[in-house]
Structures are given as structure tokens and as C-alpha cells.
């Protein structure tokens, strides 16, 4: 895939009216998709996506990403099918293994080793595919016939082996990137690494060299399908400035110097510069890493919308 897609990741709500206005503004600003996160303390993703669908006409809508440990796959299949119908087939399903230990503890869900969480994610993908492939329950045959009830299933048949909505999986480690490269329609290079010795979910940004290696690893695992999947990343900051060096130094301090300013300036997971400089960086990142789908956090929505406009004006 070579065409760009741009999306915004939301994690706050005001009123229903202000949320609808924000969704329409994103659509009018040229964004292609709107995503909802799955963390405690932020809005529940599926109601957010249904509301966004009713406020917009063309935006794709998805989860970035659902924590597989928080849900029963059979019940999740029902949620996904329902939301795909209510959004008119605009849903994209992002799934992850979960990484914030405190969220597990607050929810009363046992915190497992990474390999166990990765197993759960892999099993969830497989179980969702089975549920979408055979959505009917024989026990309901009589009721369906008596009341002319349709079988509940996704409108889309692209992801999950051709039975459900597009599947997004992303990460930085070998295990998750292998799963993404072999099963997902959208492979997301997360661009963050757990800091050793710090609480789970304490990350540092990846450097450009690390991004090169992770993309190469994932593409090798994808094999023949590497050019058919969509390569995605999430920007952690977008800062408009005439002084890139000083801004990078300040941003490095904000990140507790887990990455230095020089590496920040070259990292594909942040944008620093003028609108034109950032737009040209997006184009170069596609050429270097293959990133054609870029998501930005909601606080950077407006400035990144200018970058999106400039990228499209470049005609690349």
C-alpha cells in the first residue's frame, strides 16, 4: 500500500454535543479515521465509536487498541459485530496484549507474564475468527425462524480470515510483531520500548535505527503479504517550531532524557519543525519505513491537520 491515511486517537469526552463537533471537525480537516483507546479512566471505546459514526459520514472508526485480557472473546465478537453494523461497516479492530500493570490490578484481573499475555492475544484473534466464521447458534434456530431474526455478524469480510472487520495489531517486540505480520491487515510499529527496571508501561521512544530494524523484522515475517498490509505508526508528539534543536532538547527533558535530542529529531515517532518540514518528513518516513498510515493523539489534532493538508498538496 502506498496511499496515505491519517487518523486521530481520542481519549477524552466533554459533552455529547462537543464530541460530535470534534468528530465532524476531524472529518472536515481531512482525517480518514478516528480511533478510541482502551484504558481505565478514559471513555469506553465502543460507545465512542458508535457516537462518532452518527456524527460523521466517511470516517473509519476503530480501537487502538483493545486490551485482550479485559474481554471474553465470545462476548467481544458480539460487540464487534454490533458496532460494525451500527457504524455501517466502518469499524477497524485493534487488539493488544495490555501493558499497564496498574490497570490490571485496578480491574481485579491477574497480571500475567508477557508470554502469557501474548498467548491470550493470539488465542483471542483465533477465537474471534471462529466466531465470525460461524456466527449462528443452533440453539437459536427456532427463535430466528419464528421471529425472522437475522444472524448477528459483521458487515465487513476482510480481516480475521475474511470473516470480519480489518484487524490492527502493533508492538515492538518480536512476538507481537510476528503475530501482526502474519495475521493483521494493519501492522503498527509502536515505536516505544519498555524501560528496564521501571513499572510496566513506562516507555521510551525508539530511535530511527531501531525503527529500521523493527520494520525489517516485521516485513521479513510478513513475507509475500508485506506489500499488501498497511504499515502504521502512532506519533507521540507533533510540535510546530522554527527552532527544531531547542524544541527537541525541551521534548527530551519532558521524556526524562530516555532519548536524546538528536535521536528525537530523527525519530519517525515524533514530528518537530515547520508545517512544511513535518509534511516532508511524513513523506520521507513512507519512503524509509513504509509508513502509509499515521495516527496522532487528539491534543495534536489541529496542528497535524495542517501537516495532512500540506502532505496532500505535495501530491506524493
Q: Which neighbouring-strand residues pair with 293?
A: 5, 232
Q: What is the CATH number of the domain that holds 262?
A: 3.20.20.30
Average pLDDT estimate for 20-28: 97
Average pLDDT estimate for 142-149: 94
Mean pLDDT of the chain: 95
168-185 pLDDT, tens digit per residue, is: 999 999 999 999 999 999
The beta-strand segments (E) located in 17-166 are: 33-36, 60-63, 66-67, 91-96
CA distances from 18 to 15, 28, 43, 270, 310 (A): 5, 15, 14, 28, 27
DSSP 186-246: EEEE--EEEPTTS-TT-EEEPPHHHHHHHHHHHHHHHGGGTTTSEEEEEESEEEE-S-HHH
200-220 pLDDT, tens digit per residue, is: 888 899 999 999 999 999 999
Cα distance between residue 10 and residue 190, in whole Å: 17
- Report pLDDT for 22: 96
- Report pLDDT for 2: 74
- Report pLDDT for 162: 97
Average pLDDT estimate for 94-116: 95
236-265 pLDDT, tens digit per residue, is: 999 999 999 999 999 999 888 789 999 999
263-310 pLDDT, tens digit per residue, is: 999 999 999 999 999 999 999 999 999 999 999 999 999 999 999 999
- Report pLDDT for 210: 96
- The answer to whether 12 touches 298, Cβ cutoff 8 Å, is yes
Of residues 13 and 221, the one with the higher pLDDT is: 221
Average pLDDT estimate for 58-67: 97
Cα distance between residue 48 and residue 55, in whole Å: 11
Residue range(s) defining the domain that contains residue 251: 5-314
- Report pLDDT for 196: 87
- Report pLDDT for 1: 53
Tally of domains in the chain: 1
Average pLDDT estimate for 108-125: 96
- Report pLDDT for 198: 87
Position 146 confidence tier, pLDDT thresholds 50, 70, 90: very high
Average pLDDT estimate for 81-99: 97
- Report pLDDT for 316: 60
Position 199 confidence tier, pLDDT thresholds 50, 70, 90: confident
- Report pLDDT for 65: 94
Whether 18 shows a pLDDT value over 80: the answer reads yes
Of residues 73 and 14, the one with the higher pLDDT is: 73
Amino acid at each position: 500500500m502506498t496511499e496515505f491515511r491519517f487518523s486521530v486517537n481520542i481519549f477524552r469526552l466533554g459533552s455529547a454535543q462537543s464530541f460530535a463537533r470534534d468528530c465532524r471537525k476531524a472529518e472536515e480537516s481531512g482525517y480518514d479515521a478516528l480511533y478510541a483507546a482502551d484504558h481505565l479512566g478514559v471513555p469506553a471505546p465502543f460507545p465512542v465509536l458508535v457516537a462518532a459514526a452518527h456524527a460523521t459520514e466517511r470516517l473509519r472508526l476503530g480501537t487502538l487498541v483493545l486490551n485482550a485480557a479485559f474481554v471474553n472473546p465470545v462476548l467481544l465478537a458480539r460487540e464487534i459485530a454490533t458496532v460494525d453494523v451500527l457504524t455501517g461497516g466502518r469499524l477497524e479492530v485493534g487488539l493488544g496484549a495490555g501493558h499497564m500493570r496498574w490497570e490490571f490490578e485496578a480491574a481485579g484481573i491477574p497480571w500475567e507474564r508477557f508470554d502469557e499475555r501474548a498467548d491470550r492475544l493470539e488465542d483471542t484473534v483465533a477465537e474471534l475468527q471462529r466466531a465470525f466464521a460461524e456466527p449462528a447458534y443452533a440453539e437459536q434456530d427456532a427463535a430466528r425462524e419464528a421471529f425472522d431474526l437475522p444472524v448477528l455478524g459483521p458487515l465487513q469480510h476482510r480481516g480475521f480470515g475474511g470473516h470480519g472487520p480489518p484487524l490492527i495489531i502493533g508492538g515492538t517486540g518480536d512476538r507481537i510483531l510476528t503475530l501482526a505480520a502474519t495475521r493483521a491487515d494493519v501492522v503498527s510499529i509502536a515505536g516505544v520500548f519498555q524501560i528496564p527496571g521501571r513499572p510496566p508501561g513506562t516507555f521510551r521512544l525508539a530511535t530511527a535505527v531501531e525503527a529500521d530494524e523493527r520494520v525489517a523484522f516485521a516485513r521479513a515475517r510478513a513475507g509475500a503479504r508485506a506489500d499488501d498490509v498497511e504499515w502504521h505508526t502512532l506519533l507521540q508528539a507533533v510540535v510546530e517550531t522554527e527552532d527544531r534543536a531547542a524544541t527537541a532538547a525541551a521534548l527530551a527533558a519532558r521524556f526524562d532524557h530516555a532519548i536524546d535530542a538528536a535521536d528525537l529529531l530523527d525519530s519517525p515517532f515524533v514530528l518537530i519543525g515547520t508545517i512544511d518540514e513535518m509534511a516532508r518528513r511524513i513523506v520521507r518516513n513512507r519512503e524509509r519505513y513504509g509508513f502509509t498510515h499515521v495516527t496522532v493523539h487528539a491534543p495534536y489534532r489541529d496542528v497535524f491537520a495542517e501537516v495532512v493538508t500540506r502532505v496532500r498538496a505535495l501530491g506524493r
